[in-house]
Structure 1
Amino acid sequence: MTGDYRTPAQPPATAAGNLPLAVTTPNAARPAARATAPIPAGDAVDVLVDSHRRAVESTLASTTVSAGRLEILDERLMDLRRAYVVAPPVEMLGQLLRELDEVRLLASERQPAHVQVHLSEMIAVLATLIADALMKLGRLGQAQLWYGTARTAADDSGSWELRARVRVQAAMLPYYYGPLERAVSFTNEARLLNRYRPTATGAFAAAAAARAQARQGNAEAAGAAIKEAQQLFDRCRKVASESDDAWAFPLRRLLLYLSGAYTYLGDTTHARDAQAEALMLYPDRTGIDPALLHLEQAMCLIHERSVTEACQLAGQTYLKVPAAHRTEILGARAQDIIDVLPENVRSVRAVRELGEILALPASTT
């Protein structure tokens, strides 16, 4: 009713501790504030902030590897790379593993970013050489695992060129032992990483792709890769030819890969030219690479239907290689001479004699 005055309704009584939210009391409990470290005032703030900054910078700068020690590690790695070209794989395997163990221990400790990257690069190179030695010795499963480790280390380094180089090296295993599709995949990954830059790694990747594609029977792709390899190498010839170590890609290695590509393309004329030029660059003509070139000469003879001459050359090549270098990979390549022949030709005397040579224990040959 208008004008009727009523007092506001009082809130209903509630049990203690269950008051409505709108009702407060002077003594109502409040949430406890989260304890924080007291921040000093004035000059003390500068002292506190600077001390924390110095602690962080000290952590970032902390290292167990001095510049001098890195230089020594680089020198030792270069010595190993040069020794690897001529030393037997069994001998090199022990040296590489010892060096890798030292680098690994350093990498497991807190290092500045640039030092950590450098150590990852060293690990990638060492792991690749270990994988290569294992491949030569016929330890294919272990070689595959070590190539994987090398790729992981190269990826960790962040270097596109190192990532490409390791993938080219890893393509050797499937090139020689299959599957060829994986060899082509690795080399194409390396080519993509190189992006047509005029580098030795780019030339290496294209030459390896050409060799794998030729063996796969893809003549068109192999021909294009051969041209790419030659063009990239010509643009970086001086740099590519200066170093002569296991990690370099000098002219003689380019010719070795082109020899393989031409041989499997059936282009014996260009193959023989590449083989002759490459062999001239090996003064003593000993070791695995010259032997592989002679075996490709034998394969060219197979293409020309000179079976007896091909098998004799393969047998002589195998026997001339010092026992320490006469590894599984060399035997596998010599066996290829027999495997490409039709069954009805394998009974020829020269073919049987080559098979008998390859079947002998290394100590007796």
Structure 2
Amino acid sequence: MAAATLAAAVAARAYALNHQPEQARAALAAADALMNRLPKSERSDTWLTYGEQKHHVHLSHAYTTLADTRHARESQQRALELSAPTSAMTRTLLHSDSATCSHHNGDSEEACRRTIATLTGLPGGYRTGLVHRRALDLYEAIPTDHHHERAVRELRNVLAI
């Protein structure tokens, strides 16, 4: 049952990223329903189980991609509460989602500032891959007529585009 819960959460993210909001919302509902029925013995954080923290990390990204900032922020908060302070990658991705929510809520300048702070707070080796992709996605979501603004330019420079 843990695998089915994970699969539904990952499907929700995939649908959201592929601009299929109805399918994403259906997968999110399925993921939550499965999570609610998941036995306690399958809720730890191992390869064969599916913990609440991981669930909220997946939901955060799906809801953020759907621009459902209220639900995204709820999942971000819960995932951060459940994440160890040493979980740098997880916490970075959650902060990235939170910054993107600021953009969705109309404050692209704040989104850029928060993303810059998140990126520059990481060692160089952590600013690649998925972390870089999420920051780049934010930059690309900002209309080009705003690319001359200081915070957007600074984000571009941090990303070295």
Offset of residue 227 of structure 1: 1.1
Q: Specify the alignment match of 1:323 in structure 2.
A: 124
Is 1:202 aligned to 2:4, yes or no?
yes
Is 1:336 aligned to 2:141, yes or no?
no
Offset of residue 214 of structure 1: 1.6
Q: Flag the 1:286–1:315 CA change in 2: closer, same or farther, 3 A.
A: farther
| CA distance, structure 1, for counterparts of residue 48 and residue 121 of structure 2 | 26
Contact 2:3 2:48 in 1 (8 A): no
Q: Flag the 1:327–1:234 CA change in 2: closer, same or farther, 3 A.
A: same
Offset of residue 314 of structure 1: 0.5
Match of 1:288 among 41, 66, 89: 89
Residue-pair matches, total = 161
| CA distance, structure 1, for counterparts of residue 49 and residue 137 of structure 2 | 27
Partner AA of 1:231 in structure 2: A
Q: Specify the alignment match of 1:313 in structure 2.
A: 114
Offset of residue 313 of structure 1: 0.6
| Pairing 1:79-118 to 2, within 5 Å after superposition | none
Q: Flag the 1:237–1:296 CA change in 2: closer, same or farther, 3 A.
A: farther
Which ranges of structure 1 fall in alignment gaps of 5 or more residues? 1-198, 361-365
Q: Specify the alignment match of 1:219 in structure 2.
A: 21
Q: Flag the 1:346–1:229 CA change in 2: closer, same or farther, 3 A.
A: same
Contact 2:61 2:72 in 1 (8 A): yes
Partner AA of 2:83 in structure 1: Y
| CA distance, structure 1, for counterparts of residue 132 and residue 122 of structure 2 | 11
Offset of residue 285 of structure 1: 5.5
Contact 1:201 1:249 in 2 (8 A): yes
Normalising by structure 2, what TM-score? 0.91
| CA distance, structure 2, for counterparts of residue 217 and residue 358 of structure 1 | 25
Offset from partner CA, 1:110-147 (integer Å, 9 cap, x none): xxxxxxxxxxxxxxxxxxxxxxxxxxxxxxxxxxxxxx
Offset of residue 289 of structure 1: 1.4
| Pairing 1:23-172 to 2, within 5 Å after superposition | none
Partner AA of 1:346 in structure 2: H
| CA distance, structure 1, for counterparts of residue 123 and residue 113 of structure 2 | 18
Offset of residue 327 of structure 1: 2.7
The structure whose residues are more often helix, as a share, is: 2
| CA distance, structure 2, for counterparts of residue 226 and residue 237 of structure 1 | 19
Offset from partner CA, 1:57-114 (integer Å, 9 cap, x none): xxxxxxxxxxxxxxxxxxxxxxxxxxxxxxxxxxxxxxxxxxxxxxxxxxxxxxxxxx
Offset of residue 302 of structure 1: 0.7
Offset of residue 323 of structure 1: 3.4
| CA distance, structure 2, for counterparts of residue 236 and residue 326 of structure 1 | 34
| CA distance, structure 2, for counterparts of residue 212 and residue 219 of structure 1 | 10
Offset of residue 229 of structure 1: 0.6
Q: Flag the 1:212–1:348 CA change in 2: closer, same or farther, 3 A.
A: same
Contact 1:335 1:358 in 2 (8 A): yes
| CA distance, structure 2, for counterparts of residue 306 and residue 285 of structure 1 | 29
Offset of residue 249 of structure 1: 2.5
Residue 249 of structure 1: SS of its match in structure 2? coil
Contact 1:252 1:281 in 2 (8 A): yes
Is 1:270 aligned to 2:74, yes or no?
no
Q: Specify the alignment match of 1:61 in structure 2.
A: none
Question: Which structure's CA Rg is the greater one?
Answer: 1
